[in-house]
Amino acid sequence: MNKIENQKCLKDCLYDRIEDEAVCPRPRLFFHSRECLVWFLWLISVLIGSIAVAVSLFVVMHRQYDFYEATHDNFLTFLVDYLPYLWFFVFIAMIGVAIYNLRHTARGYRYSLGTILLSSLVLSFAGGSALQLFGVGYKIDDILGNHMNNYLSQEKIEKNMWQSPTEGRLLGRQSYSTVQPTTTIIFKDTTGRGWTLDVRELNDKEKRILASGQEVKILGKCLDEDRGSFYACGVFPVMMDKDMPMKDRSHEREIFIERLYEYKNRVKTAIYATTTEFDKADKVINERHCEDMKPVLKMP
Give the tens place of pLDDT for each residue, 201-231.
888 889 889 988 889 999 999 999 999 999 9
Strands 229-237 and 194-198: parallel
> Kind and range of the H or E element at 90?
helix 85-103
Per-residue pLDDT, 4: 55
Residue 6 pLDDT > 60, yes or no? no
Whether 170 and 218 have beta carbons less than 8 Å apart is answered as yes
Mean pLDDT of 241-257: 78
Query: Where is average pLDDT lowest: 126-130, 206-210, 260-264?
Result: 260-264
Report how far residue 5's alpha carbon sits from residue 3's, in angstroms, rounded to the nearest whole number. Answer: 5
Indicate the fold that domain 163-298 takes in CATH. Answer: OB fold (Dihydrolipoamide Acetyltransferase, E2P) (2.40.50)
Rounded to whole angstroms, the Cα distance separating 275 from 162 reads 40
28-63 and 136-147 are packed helices; what angle lies between their axes, rounded to 10 degrees?
90
End-to-end CA separation in angstroms for the chain? 97
pLDDT at 62: 82
pLDDT score, position 16:
66
Residue 219: HSE in the Cβ half-sphere, 13 Å Cα cutoff: 25
CA distance 283 to 295: 22
The pLDDT of 72-88, averaged and rounded, is 85
| pLDDT > 70: percent of the chain | 79
Average pLDDT rounded to a whole number, residues 177-203: 84
- pLDDT value for 41: 83
Question: Cα separation of 219 and 199, whole Å?
Answer: 11
Query: Which residues of the chain are in CATH 2.40.50.140 domains?
Result: 163-298
Record the pTM.
Answer: 0.74
Range with the poorest average pLDDT among 10-19, 151-160, 168-177, 233-242? 10-19
Give residue-wise pLDDT tens across range 153-170.
888 888 888 999 999 999
Crossing angle (nearest 10°) for helices 28-63 and 85-103: 160
Enumerate the H helices of 163-274 as residue ranges: 204-211, 246-271
Can you tell me the distance from the alpha carbon of 113 to that of 78, in angstroms, rounded to the nearest whole number? 36
How far apart are the C-alpha atoms of 194 and 173, rounded to whole Å?
A: 10
